[in-house]
Structures are given as structure tokens and as C-alpha cells.
A and B are shown apart, each in its own frame.
Chain A
Amino acid sequence: MLGILRKSIRTGLVTIGDPIGSFNPPPAWRGTPRFDFAAWQDARPAAAACPTGAIRVEDGGAVRRVTADYGLCIFCGLCAEACPEGAVRMERELELPAASRQDLVVGAAYEIDAAGLQTRLVEGPWRGAPGARSVERTGAAVRQAVRKLLGRSLAIREVDAGSCNGCEIEIHALNNPLYDLERYGIHFVASPRHADMLLVTGPVTRNMELALLKTWRATPDPKVVVAAGACGISGGIFGRNYATRGPVDEVVPVDVYVPGCPPRPESLLYGILLAVGRLAPARAGAQQQER
């Protein structure tokens, strides 16, 4: 007993400050691909290098449409390596969770020459919806919403609908003393009956489809659903095949998408807080219809 106390005292306080506001990954962190659409001359090498098909090039006559989908991205950095002219760079910022699937897609359209080089930007660059978000501001606003709506308490039921267990490692990390999720009044519960939120990882397998649907039905309204990780958002590297249904939103409605492979704890936390901010509109009825 004394040993336990001595160890606790010697260890001291390890919980970090606001994980989102003070986000500061080590220099070696691989980062997030950012696209300089205006300067990009040839998107084909990056598209060919992408393991999940997140970067797409569609040529129609003299016009090329280039899109990059953070919902498919596994943040491997191969696109940046394939783009020596620097139009794709790995930047030290998080790709933030989004409340709409489209918000994770960026793109532009070009005129191309006979050699297939992009000569002129004719449309974009665009992102699914305009307007940048500030991390700290949203975080603070959402925290207020948690306090107001749920009396500082949010219960999450995690559902692994086919994940590789990578997302689960980072979800577990939220519970460690450094991230200490409970300080936000958020905790994981054992039953969907006790939950306000389902945090779902995927790709949803054919064998888990019914279990996911039953878990969703067992969760009382109002409820929100967060899809975590490339697989949960889009099917990721597994895609859709004979054994998978792919994205979580093929099976249950999703409120927030958290990109990453797996998402960092900071991203997960942000996504959870973002989703809680959406609890009020969700309550209005869109989710009441039985699927």
C-alpha cells in the first residue's frame, strides 16, 4: 500500500493540458498531405503512388479533375514522395474531423496539354464546404455544449465493426492518464443502452453488419454516431469486397467522420467533441426514423 502511494507521489501529475489546443507532435511526425493545387503540374504520379486510391485523376478531353479524399487517406506520405516539385507536402497540422463526408474531399480542375501536364487551373481549389474552422474555438464551444446538454456527461459505446484494432489502440489511449478523457465528462460504457454516442470503427464487415445495426437500435435517442478511421469512413485499404460493406454510413447514419489510420487521440477527441455539438440538431428528428 505504501509502495503504491510512494509511486503515485513520485510520479506526480502526468495529465497533459488541453490536448487539442496544445497539439505538438514530435518533429519526425509524418504529418498530413497538403496540396498546392495552383502549382501542381502533374497529379498522376501521386495518384499512382496512393495505396488506397485517395487521390484521383479523371481526364475528360482537355480537362482534368483532381480530387484528394482525406476519408480514404492513410497518411503514409507516398504522394509527397512521388511529387518532387513540391505540390504535395506533408505539413505539421491535423486533418480535422468533419461533420459531413464531403468536407473531407478537396479538389480542383485543370486544362491539360498533350503530354498530360496540368497547364491551367480552371476550377477550385475547393473543399466540400467553405470556411476554415479554428480548433480552439470550436473545442471551447463544444465543451460548453456538453456541459449544457448533458450535464458534463457523455457516455460512449465503442463498436468495432471490423477494424484491424489500430483505431482501438488510439481510442484506448484517450483513457490513459495523459489524455484523461473523463476530465471532459466523457466515459466509455459497456452497453449501448447506456450510451449517448456510438464510436464506430470499420470497415463494416458482412459478418458485423447486423450486430452494428442492432447496437444502433439498442442505443436510445437522441444519439450520435462517430465513424473513426479511414476504414470506418470509406472502407480504407480494404475497400468494399465480398466480405465487407465498407463505410459505416452504409449501415447507420453518421454525424462526424474522424480521418486517420488510425486517428490520433487528439483527432478522436476533437471528433467526439464536434459530434456532441451536433446533438441538438440531431435530436430534431432526422434520426428518429427506424432503418
Chain B
Amino acid sequence: MTRADRVAFDSLLAEVRPLASAAARQAPGEVRLVLEDASRREEVAAALLERGCRFACVFAEDRREAEGAFHLYDVVEHPEDSRYLVVRYRIVPERPRFPSISVLTPAVNWMEREVQDWYGLEAAGHPNPRRVALHDHWPDVHPLRKDFAIDTVLPPFEGEPHVFRETVGEGVFYVPVGPVHAGIIEPGHFHFAVAGEPVIYLQLRLFYTHKGTEKRFEHLPFQHGVFLAESVSGDTSFGHGLAYCLALERAAGAEASSHAQTGRLVLLELERIYNHVADIGAIATDVGFGVANAHATRLREFLLRLNEELTGSRLLRGLVCPGGLRRAIGAASVPPFLEKIDSFAREFEDLVRLIEDSDSTVDRLEATGTLPPGKAGDLGIVGVAGRASGQDRDVRRDHPWGAYMRHEPRVPVFPHGDVLHRMRVRIEEVRESVSLIRAAALDLPEGPPAVALPPAAAGSTALAAVEGWRGEILHWVRTGEGGRLDRCRIKDPSLNNWPALVEAIPGNIIPDFPVVNKSFNLSYSGNDR
């Protein structure tokens, strides 16, 4: 049985009583179930969790005008199924609440609170129901409701942006950091409670870069939405652009051209290695090994230039499009490209040797910022951080599409959960990506770069999953009238993974925070949207 044939949901759903009576519908990459109301959501969640499921994403949409209700969605993954289970609950405007399942699975903590903020639907029984996406001093608005205009000008924000939880004890003091940080990085606020050197509690305040992205998608034509998707998180331009295009293709019932399917694999892996190399260098620099970082940034520049030689863009932008790629990767460009990939691979091994041979570097990284596998499992941590903490997940292998059906990656997993192993996961993944690129580039079919998409019927929905370099990216779309989307939900892996930092920091000293944070290297913009 190949991985694409795994269908655990087929038998599993019959065992979950509230779901058993609902008719399951198949769609590309998903199993869909619709429940009339959310009253049995806890029972459903408990049964799914008991059977080894993970809640990947929770979100809502405002369908009051078309269907007289809000819809709440749970996107669920099972290790033995190549599809995602998408359970939809109807929530009528007269009773704007749903039972929270954050106590059962803390993985959905922030996402349930997002639903509260965006739509004004109460997550009843949530252990910490405060705002998460809208800062506390925002007025009482719910921006993703359809009757909230995107260009609403809100009054200046006044009052306390956030009251942090108290940490009490002898000698405890607070260190507030951000949103403007010391390095060239994105904005966010970290509130450390410290006793002596070690941190005892960390609270995060994010969403400083919230820029109305999901709402903005509803106002752009499909083709232009690609560029917005590429700006969800600039370091993941290709990954997010690709997820968006895959979702549109699935909504239209089409597939990208065969040339594009393989080309997309090459480009997604290029994005992975240019980011991983930079992270490896940055981890070295945060423990004082500047020479290694000089080599790493040199290699990253080599890769950015290679990106440009192949695609015209250093960040792989403006190439993916609904139906394929805007331009073909010419057969003549493959041999010189692969020569450069080989020379990168040699240089990369030199870099790895420099770092792994430096005892003082390895010593600083080992057992620093540890996220135990148990906690990573409870929080549903994905991607690099998940795999370094025993979570054996990778969309490319578990939910394959396109060329990943033929080119299955080997997935490195370590149980240690420290900075060292988050770095080692990256090292292994760069090696794996290099061999995927080699194999796929030699296997690149000739043909048109893109197919013309048939128009999607208004009201169609689709889900796409892509393993970006940070981890699982989900885009869920509902098509609307006039070549626009009615809803676009973006789930960057950072939204799953930020809470991991809160668990990995306590017991470490503040001077180690930068290296721990860098080892996760989560996106602020992707999280905040």
C-alpha cells in the first residue's frame, strides 16, 4: 500500500457517533462532514483525539447572507490517512457560540480565540477566552464578518494594550521585549518573568503585523490573490503562493500541468534549503560562531542568485500561478542548474563540518530550549520543530500531491527536542531536498507551463496543504461571485508552533532566548496575517 492509499477515516468515522449519521463527502485531499449544530463538538473531538487524530486548524466563515448561519470548521489529520477530515458545524446568529475543545486539545487554543475575535462567536468553556488576534485596546469589532467593511477606519486605540498575567514569588521580576527588536527581525512582544538568571514564565503578544490579509483576499481577483499569498510570509513566498494555487485548482476540479507539478517540487525545495541554510548560520551566530554564519550567509546568497537565474526572482516570486507556472523551466537550464546545486551541496557539507566539529558550539546547543515530545504532541507542533521533538509528520509524505507522489522524501525525526536537534533536522532536510531537486529536475516533463483553469462554480470550497520549509501550510478557500473569493483561510505553521516557545523557554536563561527563538524561527507575518 502506498501512502496515498491510506484511508483510516473511512472506518474510523463510523465509530464516532455524531459523525456516523452524517454523510461523508469526498473532495480532493479531504473528507467532508457537515453537522447541523455544534452541540456535540466536544464528543466528536474527544473521540477523534482518542483515535490518534490531530486538530490542524480551526476557523469560521460568515455565511449568514447565503445560508443564514456562520460555519465553524475543524480540520483534522490522522497519521493513517492521506486526506484531511474537514468537519463543518452550523452556528446560527441567534446563538453565536460553540463549545470550546481547547481543554481537550490545547493545539486549538489560539485558533478558537481567533474565531471569537474575527466573528464574535464565543468559544464557550475556553480556559483563557481573552483576545488573541485583536489587541485588547481595539474597539469591539469583528473584522471578518461580511457586514464589516474592509476600509473601516477605526478610531485611535486607547488604553492598555494587554494586561499580562502576574508571576509571583520572591525576587521575580519582568523583562519586557519588543515589539521593536534588536536585530533585523519582525515585531512581536515577549514578556519574561525571571528569577535570577532563569526564565520561569514567558508570555507572547503577537499579531502586531496583522494587516487584514484574509479579508483582503475577498477583494482581489483570483489571479492577483497569488501575489497577496506570496506576501503572507515573505520567506515562504513560494510555499504560500503554491498552497493558494493548489486550493484554487482543487476548487475548479483541475490539476496543474505535468511540467508545473514537477517544477513546483524543485522550487519548493529550493525555498526550503535557502531558508534552512540561513537558520543554521543564525543559530551559530547566536552562540558566537560568526565565521560559520559568514559561510552560511554566503551560501544563502548563492542560492538566492540561483533562484533568480532559474526563475527571475530571488525569492521565487511571481512564478506560480493557478494552473501551473507562469514560465517553463527550460530543459537547457537544468544541467547548469544541477551543477550549481552540486557545488552548493559540497559547500554545505563543509559548513556542517565546521559547526559539528566545534565542541563549544554543539555544547551550547545541546539540551538548550528543550521541547519534550509529549508537549509537542499535545500542542500539535508541526514542521522542523515538531520533527525535532518526535512528531513524525510531513505533508509531502503524508498528504502527497503532484510530483511528491513519485518523489517521497525521507523524513528526519529526533526525540531530543533541543536547539541542536532543530538544527540537525534542518541539516538532514537540506541533504534530502538536494536529492529531491536532483531527481525531480532530471525528471522534468516537457510541455506547457500551465493549463487554463475552468471557472470554479461560485460557492465551491477546497483545502490545500503544502509542507513549507517551516512546516504545514493550509489554505482553505470558498469561491465567490465575479472571479473573487468569498473566504480564504491561511494557516501558517507558525500559528501552530508559537506556543511551543512558551514551553521550551522556562529554565533557560534570557541570553539563550535568541538562539532558542531562532531555532524555531517562526513567522510573525504568517502568524498575524
Residue positions of A touching B, CB distance < 8 A: 3-4, 7-8, 11, 14, 25-26, 28-30, 51-52, 74-78, 158-173, 175-179, 188, 190-192, 203, 205-208, 210-211, 215, 231, 236-244, 261-262, 264
Residues of B contacting A28 in the complex (Cβ-Cβ under 8 angstroms): 308-312
B498 interfacial by beta-carbon distance below 8 Å: no
Closest to B213 in A: A238
C-alpha spacing A52/B231, complex, angstroms: 12
Is residue B83 within 8 Å, beta carbon to beta carbon, of the partner chain? no
B174-191, CB under 8 A of A: which get 1 and which 0? Answer: 000001101111110000
Residue of B nearest to A52 (CB): B227
Besides A211-B180, A244-B212, 16 new A-B residue pairs in contact (Cβ under 8 A), listed by A number: A7-B291, A7-B354, A52-B227, A76-B318, A163-B525, A166-B317, A173-B300, A173-B304, A176-B300, A178-B298, A207-B209, A208-B209, A211-B187, A240-B151, A241-B150, A242-B151
* Total inter-chain residue pairs, C-beta < 8 Å: 179
Which residue of B is nearest A53, CB measured? B224
B145-172 interface with A by 8 A CB criterion: 148-154, 157
The answer to whether A160 and B187 touch across the interface, beta carbons within 8 angstroms, is yes
Asked if B510 CB lies within 8 Å of chain A CBs, one says: no
- Cα A251 to Cα B224 with chains together (Å): 28
Would you call B211 an interface residue if the criterion is a C-beta within 8 Å of the partner chain's C-beta atoms?
Answer: yes
Tell me whether A163 and B301 are in contact (CB under 8 A): no
A241 touching B216, Cβ below 8 Å: yes
Q: Are A238 and B318 in contact (CB under 8 A)?
A: no
B524 beta carbon closer than 8 Å to chain A:
yes
* Per-position 1/0 for B230-253, Cβ under 8 A of A: 011111010000000000000000
Q: Which of B143, B235, B312 has most A Cβ within 10 Å? A: B312
A229 — nearest CB in chain B belongs to which residue? B234
Report B-chain residues with C-beta under 8 Å of the C-beta of A205: 208-211
Q: Do A3 and B212 touch (CB < 8 A)?
A: no
Establish whether residues A164 and B231, one from each chain, have CB atoms under 8 Å apart when the complex forms: yes
**Which residue in chain B gives the minimum CB-CB distance to A178?**
B301
- CB neighbours of A241 from chain B (8 A): 150-151, 211-212, 215-216
Contact B211–A30 (Cβ < 8 Å)? no
Q: Are B301 and A176 in contact (CB under 8 A)?
A: yes
Residue from the set A160, A165, A166, A167 with the largest chain B CB neighbour count within 10 Å = A165
Contact flag A165-B186 (CB < 8 Å), given A30-B312, A242-B152? yes
Given contacts A165-B234, A170-B314, A241-B150, contact A191 B220 (CB under 8 A): no
Q: Is B135 part of the binding interface, using a Cβ–Cβ cutoff of 8 Å? A: yes
Contact A159 B523 (CB under 8 A): no
**Residue from A159, A166, A243, A264 in contact with B234 in the complex, judged by beta carbons closer than 8 Å:** A166
In contact, A14 and B298 (Cβ under 8 angstroms): yes
Q: Are A242 and B212 in contact (CB under 8 A)?
A: yes
Find out whether the CB atom of A262 lies under 8 angstroms from the CB atom of B308: no
Among all A-B residue pairs, the 9 with the closest Cβ atoms: A166-B234, A190-B182, A51-B224, A176-B297, A243-B212, A164-B234, A30-B312, A165-B234, A241-B212
Which residues of the partner chain B approach A169 to less than 8 Å between Cβ atoms?
234-235, 304, 315
Find chain B residues with CB under 8 A from A7 CB: 291, 295, 350, 354
Distance in angstroms from B213 CB to nearest chain A CB is: 7
Q: A31: nearest residue on chain B (CB-CB)?
A: B312
Q: For B220, give its contact among A3, A51, A74 (CB under 8 Å).
A: A51
A242, B143: Cβ atoms closer than 8 Å: yes
Q: Which of A178, A190, A240 contacts B183 (CB 8 A)?
A: A190
> Given A173-B301, A261-B317: A165 and B308 within 8 A (CB)?
no
A163 touches B154 (CB 8 A): no
Residue on B nearest A243 in the bound complex, by CB: B212
Q: Do A164 and B232 form a contact, CB below 8 Å, given A51-B227, A207-B207?
A: yes
Q: Taking beta carbons and an 8 Å cutoff, which residues of B are in contact with A?
A: 135, 141, 143, 148-154, 157, 179-180, 182-187, 207-213, 215-216, 220, 223-224, 227-228, 231-235, 237, 278, 291, 294-295, 297-298, 300-301, 304-305, 308-315, 317-318, 350, 353-354, 357, 523-525
CB-based contact A26/B228 at 8 Å: no
Chain B residues, CB < 8 A from A158: 184
Q: How many angstroms between the C-alpha atoms of A143 and B524 in the bound complex?
A: 35
The answer to whether B235 and A239 touch across the interface, beta carbons within 8 angstroms, is no
Is A4 a contact of B354 with CB atoms below 8 Å? yes
B308-A236 in contact (CB<8A):
no
Contact of B523 among A165, A207, A236, A262 (CB under 8 A): A165
Complex Cα distance A158/B181, Å? 9
A-B contact pairs, 16 of them (CB 8 A): A11-B295, A14-B298, A74-B317, A76-B227, A160-B187, A164-B232, A166-B315, A173-B301, A176-B294, A176-B301, A188-B184, A206-B157, A242-B143, A242-B212, A243-B211, A264-B314
By a CB distance below 8 angstroms, the chain B residues around A207 are 135, 179, 207-210
A75 to B183, CA, bound (A): 28
Residues of chain A within 8 A (CB-CB) of B210 are 205, 207, 243
Cβ distance A236 to chain B, nearest Cβ, rounded Å: 7
Q: How far is the CA of A250 from the CA of B305 in the complex (A)?
A: 34
Q: Does the CB pair B234–A168 fall under 8 Å?
A: yes
Docked Cα-Cα span, A78 to B304, in Å, equals 22
Q: How far is the CA of A77 from the CA of B319 in the complex (A)?
A: 10
| Contact, CB under 8 Å: A238 / B180 | no
Q: How distant is the Cα of A244 from the Cα of B148 in the complex, in angstroms?
A: 15
Q: State whether A159 touches B180 (Cβ < 8 A).
A: yes
- Given A28-B312, A173-B304, A241-B151: A163 and B186 within 8 A (CB)? yes
A177 and B294 within 8 A (CB)? yes
Closest B residue to A158 by beta carbon equals B184
B residues near A244, Cβ cutoff 8 Å: 211-212
Nearest CB on A from B108, distance (A):
23
Instruction: State in angstroms the CA–CA spacing of A11 and B346 once bound together.
Output: 12
A19 vs chain B, min Cβ distance (A): 11
A215 to B181, CA, bound (A): 11
A186 to chain B, nearest CB (A): 13
